[in-house]
Amino acid sequence: MKFLYRTLVVLLIATLLMPNISFAGNKDRQGQAGGAELMINPWPRSSGWGNANMASVKGIEALWGNVAGAAFTKRTQLQFAYTDWMKGTGTNIIAFGLTQKVGEAGALGLQVMSMNFGEVEITTTNSPDGGVGTYKPNLMNFSISYSKAFSNSIYAGVLVKLISESIADINGFGIALDIGIQYVTGENDQMAFGIALKNLGPKMSFSGDGLSIRSLLPGQSTLFTTEQRSMPFELPAQLNIGASYAFLMPAENKITLAGNFTSNSFSRDQFVLGLEYSFKEIFVIRAAYTYENGMWDDIYTPQNTNVNNGLSAGISLALPLNKEKGTYIGIDYAFRQTVVFNNNHTLGLIFNF
């Protein structure tokens, strides 16, 4: 229980001391953070639900949402996912996740997310139209977590992220921390509450040869190298507070109502309400709606700042392998509406051993 108390204290202190998080959104600092890929959910089940399930998310999906939910892993869970990010931009996201039960109540988690933009034409002052080659920007996050069930009702977890952003001659590295707690109650554990603090960490900055310029100084005959300094930037810290309730029905049918409030440090706050129907955990459909202030304004106005809002939906199919052990192979699809381009589409394959 000491770990639980410490986690609760850390969550409380971090919530009180974080100057960037407010319940009205920090409109004066919108667009000033870096590491925007940390805000992207690469997993189909929670993405298709608009991240409404932060109170009840479980297994690998919890590694992005609320790490406490990874403690529900019964044995081993393995998942692969592919996202066509803002279809039409040529951007894609590949994610890999693994959770493994350790001991009687703990679980270790591993998550790797890579964001790819394809090849970009190299332009210089001497070749503004390109023609001198291409480069590939790459964003990658590597995460490791530990979660634990402290009772039949209380679950907590901590996740550490290593952040890498690079092009051919410039790179930046950072580290961030996620902390989450879930509380489950009810005769059949049908009610859940959750809170998660995400992306807490020091500022990042870029370095590399790409920030250096070789030039002639007046009156000199030799070239001098001038190195530009990259200004540090903050990470997009985020606070999630959610709740869910499952309406249990005969023949293993279940309808779950979930809601989540997201307080963003550098963009508008969001409210999500979602509904999910499940039949024996074999067939599941879900949908949600994400609202933020100013979302119906024109994209060019400063009020409309988040890429993802509006409708999201998803479907999951599972093939049971051993009902007693709970092993199955599943496939998931998620759709998420975006402000620009042709929305997000995520396809995932999950193995529960």
Give the per-residue pLDDT at 25.
Answer: 53
Give the per-residue pLDDT at 161.
Answer: 97
The list of the chain residues with pLDDT below 50 reads: 3-4, 10, 13, 16-24
Give the per-residue pLDDT at 18.
Answer: 47
In whole angstroms, how far apart are CA 36 and each of 240, 314, 317?
17, 24, 31
- On average, the pLDDT of the chain sits at 88
Give the per-residue pLDDT at 223.
Answer: 77
Are 301 and 334 in contact, with CB atoms under 8 Å apart? no
Domains of the chain: 2-126+134-352 (2.40.160)
Give the per-residue pLDDT at 304.
Answer: 56
Q: What is the pTM of this model?
A: 0.88
Give the per-residue pLDDT at 274.
Answer: 97
Residue 287, strand partner residues: 275, 313
